[in-house]
Amino acid sequence: MALFPLGFLLLLLVAPALRLLGEGFGSGGLGSDGSLPWLALWQEDYLRWRVLWSFLQAAITCLLALLLGLPVAWVLARREFAGRALVLRLLMLPFVVPTLVAALGVLALLGPRGWLGAPLAAAGFSLEETPWLLLYGNLFFNLCLVVRAGVDALEQVSAPRVAAARTLGATPWRAFWRVEWPAIAPWLASALCLVFLYCFSGFGLALILGGQRYATVEVEIYTLVAHELALGPAGVLAVWMLGLTGAVALGYAWLEKRLAAPGRVVPIGRTRPRGAAQWLAVWAAVAVLLLVCAAPLIAILAQAVRALWQGQGAAVLGEPETLAALWNTLRFTAMALALATGLGLSHALAVRALDRAGARRGSVAGQGAWALLWRAAAYLPFVVSPVTVAFGLLLLYPGWTASLALLIGAYALLAYPFVAKSLMAALDNLPANYEQAAASLGARPWRVLWRVTLPLVGRALRRGMAFAAATALGEFAVTLFLSRPEWTTLTTLIYQRLGRPGAANLDAALVLACLLMALALLAFTLIEGPARESDAGSGQRSDRRL
């Protein structure tokens, strides 16, 4: 069972990464004076700025997300108010919305013709060619990740320890700093590692919002490959990206290991706000989420409605290229989702089998080294950016570049970790005696899987499939590298419209982005199923590839 995902990872991730290493360390590097090619980029001001800015914008986003997200998380974890469950549920929205839709939402809000951007530009405060659009877009995607991690962490704080500190005379701030903060710091650090990875290796937001000056390394790699055919320099940059993101990913894996088995604690109970100050804190937390996470979506919806009402954007919905792009998007997503589901299920079941084998041999914590290694392998597609994946596939399989199989395989590679992660968490919490009882009654392994295991983890499977479907629907970088002109999807069609001059093309792009957002939300809702009250406080953390 493990051979299927293992072979898939080797062919579509490991081998292309090794090919990139060969390209970067080969003779096609940047140095023309005999210097080592992988060191030459630090000698060019332009490329050095690209790398440093990629680091800087990711670090600034982490800092802003922590400063805004921690107070919001504290309010959601400690206060009980009407609509709290809905707020926690809506925190999933940025994970579902495609990257290109989020970029257009930022433009609809703060761009030259946006709700706030147009008045600011008229007042002489234009945000074009500034870093603020990209930083705001990064916050849109990542603030909810820090908030969710903070809520989960604060629910693991021991109420007796906090009560003891207050009894001994500690002020609320001192109790937080000396008791709560050490408990929640690893959770927040884990979330911030993900935020850094997503911002550092992000492509869609940087391409649309960064402009010429504030584009990131991922955009530079795409430019070198697609427009200049400079594969050597692009390979060097891709190698540096692999090394840098891999270092951050190791830190994330170490933190996740610390959080894998949290001790049982008596959590601090939530209380209803009392007094004006506490209600002000609640409303301030909701306002932050509305301004950062909801405002771009509201803006893009309003701008699309305006374009449809005025008749300038309605025509695009019936154009042949739109219908063809819609069909391509739906069929590519369906094929990728089917493949990703099979891969994720095989991966999770292989981890469970290795865990049981380790338990029978008496390994520490019931897990052998192979189980830990295979569990970590599910995170590999999160570590390597979509641009790097597509570039590696382009180098390794040049004859297959325009093949549908390679395109769908790349889609599934980026989507299946969501299925695997969700199922691994569910299987870890599944008592083994259920399956043992079925086996003792004569059920064969496949029948146990079909009649016992899958029904018990069905909700986790649907959740993972929902995130996988949203990822495939909004995939952009891979499509730019590996797609044929006749395989245009909604994401690439939106990008093409943005590249054409005129207000009509911008309106058409907004309408198409609204259509793509509706498809992503519909797919997520239909696959995951109706919301449950327990979901809001389940403590599950969801990761979304940018």
pLDDT by residue (tens digit) across 44-61? 778 788 888 999 999 999
Give the pLDDT score at 286: 93
**CA gap 104, 116 in Å, rounded:** 14
Residue ending a domain, among 294, 319, 338, is 294
Compute the distance between CA of residue 286 and CA of residue 304 in angstroms, rounded to an integer: 25
| 217 and 322 assigned to the same domain | no
Instruction: State the angle between helix axes of 295-309 and 99-110 in degrees (0 to 180), rounded to the nearest 10.
Output: 80
Q: Does residue 417 sit within a domain?
A: yes
Q: pLDDT value at position 433? A: 67
CB 292 within 8 A of CB 72: no
> What's the rounded mean pLDDT across residues 239-257?
71
Q: Tokens 């891969």 identify what position?
A: 343
Q: Are residues 244 and 162 in the same domain?
A: yes
What's residue 226's pLDDT? 76
Domain-located, residue 303: no
DSSP 27-52: TTSS-SSS--HHHHGGG-HHHHHHHH
SS (H, E, C) 220-277: HHHHHHHCCCCHHHHHHHHHHHHHHHHHHHHHHHHHHHHCCCCCCCCCCCCECCCHHH
Q: Are residues 519 and 461 in the same domain?
A: yes
Q: What is the pLDDT of residue 38?
A: 58
Based on the fold, state whether residues 317 and 349 are members of the same structural domain.
yes
Query: Is residue 28 situated within a structural domain?
Result: no
Ranked by mean pLDDT, which of 61-70, 217-226, 500-509 comes out on top? 61-70
| pLDDT tens profile 404-462 | 899 999 999 999 988 988 888 788 777 666 666 766 766 666 677 777 777 888 888 88
- Is the predicted pLDDT of residue 41 greater than 80, yes or no? no
The full 3-state SS of 171-203, as one line of letters, equals CHHHHHHHHHHHHHHHHHHHHHHHHHHHHHCCC
CATH at 180: 1.10.3720.10
Among 294, 325, 344, give the residue marking a domain's end.
294
* Higher pLDDT, residue 254 or 386: 386
310 class by beta-carbon count within 10 Å (0-12 exposed, 13-18 middle, 19+ buried):
exposed
Assign residue 362 a region (left: φ > 0; alpha: ψ between -120 and 50; beta: otherwise). left
**Are residues 351 and 251 part of one domain?**
no
* Domain shared by 330 and 258, yes or no: no
Residue 99 burial (C-beta neighbours within 10 Å; 0-12, 13-18, 19+): buried
DSSP labels for 499-546?
A: TS-SHHHHHHHHHHHHHHHHHHHHHHHHHH-S--GGGTTS--------
Q: How far apart are CA 468 and CA 461, in angstroms?
A: 10
Average pLDDT estimate for 455-475: 87
Claim to verify: residue 64 and residue 100 sit in the same structural domain: yes
Confidence of residue 545 (pLDDT cuts 50, 70, 90): very low
Regarding whether 360 and 235 lie in a shared domain, the answer is: no
Answer yes or no: is 544 within a domain.
no
* Domains held by the chain: number: 2
Same domain, 287 and 322: no
- Tell me the pLDDT of the chain averaged across its residues: 81
Tell me whether residue 39 is in a domain: no
Is the pLDDT reported for residue 359 higher than 90?
Answer: no
Question: Is 446 inside a domain boundary?
Answer: yes
Domain-located, residue 276: yes
Please state which of the ranges 128-142, 214-228, 239-253, 257-271 shows the lowest mean pLDDT.
257-271
Considering the domain architecture, whether residues 322 and 278 belong to the same structural domain is answered as: no
Domain region containing 482: 310-383+397-539
